[in-house]
Amino acid sequence: MKQIIDQLIYERAPWLVPYSTTAKVAGKILKACLNYKTTLEQANRLECLSGIEILNTIGDEIARQVTISGLDNVPPSGSALIVANHPTGIADAVILYNVIRHKRPDVYFFANSDVLRVFPQLNTYIAPVEWRKEKRSKSKTQTTLKFTKQAMEQNRLGVIFPSGRLAKRVGIKLMEREWMTSAATMAKKYDVPVIPVHISARNSFLFYIFDLIHPTLRDITLFKETLNKKDFRFHITIGQPVEPRSLSDNPKLATSFLKSRVHLLDNDYKEYGKKSSIKSYWKTALKTVN
């Protein structure tokens, strides 16, 4: 596990490869800031678990302060796509999984293929995507398309973050990156509804300091920024499904429409959103069933 995590760090920050004394010193300082030892211990602990056990374990550990609005808008069955903004990174997917896992245990995520290098047992939950244009290849694209086709045929619920990468800091604000058109294109191709979801959350102060200094410093904090979320608040607002026939045939226009639907939910949450915790929601639901 150590070798894999180190390799991912060096790919994002090649200047940390310990070829020189300066790089070695910088690496030690950064690893101390990132709680590298603790992070590695947690990764080793998860390594022996199955895919669903990994998701459940991380979800239970970090989804401590989550409020939800609109969970009833998630269909109980059938193919559908959730599109969401991406404020924090990997944690966004874990939190969403924790929110909807009881209602849709068949959920899967379009996520960076590097996730499978760390935890290959997540292969039934991850549609591997290479967001970096310079690293895309025909074989990688075919793998993503094959997974998507099979998932749609199995009537599963997919989750995609069309920006591809977490929100970028501009001044003191988080700005969503440009959305790719894949979600709108898939919705039209497979004739499935799209469910807009807005996530209100943030990363640690250290993350934004690193981002201010250099993007590579920011990128190597992502695993730590996933595991520290038990101390952070998340607000999840789920909107009403958008039928594929209501989307423009122009992928860019359709994507722009979906993005606006997601960001409008932020205002809905602030002004009208009725919040409920995950624990209280399912407690009430189970009482109703029983």
Taking the chain (290 residues) in runs of 10, the rounded mean pLDDT of each run is: 80 75 79 78 90 94 90 96 92 94 96 90 93 77 94 98 74 72 96 96 82 74 80 93 96 96 77 41 39
pLDDT of residue 113: 86
pLDDT of residue 268: 53
The answer to whether the CB of 108 falls within 8 A of the CB of 125 is yes
From 13, 16, 14, 37, select the one nearest 25 (Cα to Cα): 16
C-alpha separations of 160 from 34, 139, 189, 221, 270 in Å: 28, 20, 15, 22, 24
From 52, 68, 56, 102, select the one nearest 278 (Cα to Cα): 68
pLDDT of residue 242: 97
* pTM for the whole structure: 0.84
pLDDT of residue 94: 94
pLDDT of residue 192: 98
pLDDT of residue 290: 38
pLDDT of residue 281: 38
Domains annotated for the chain, with CATH where assigned, are 62-289 (3.40.1130)
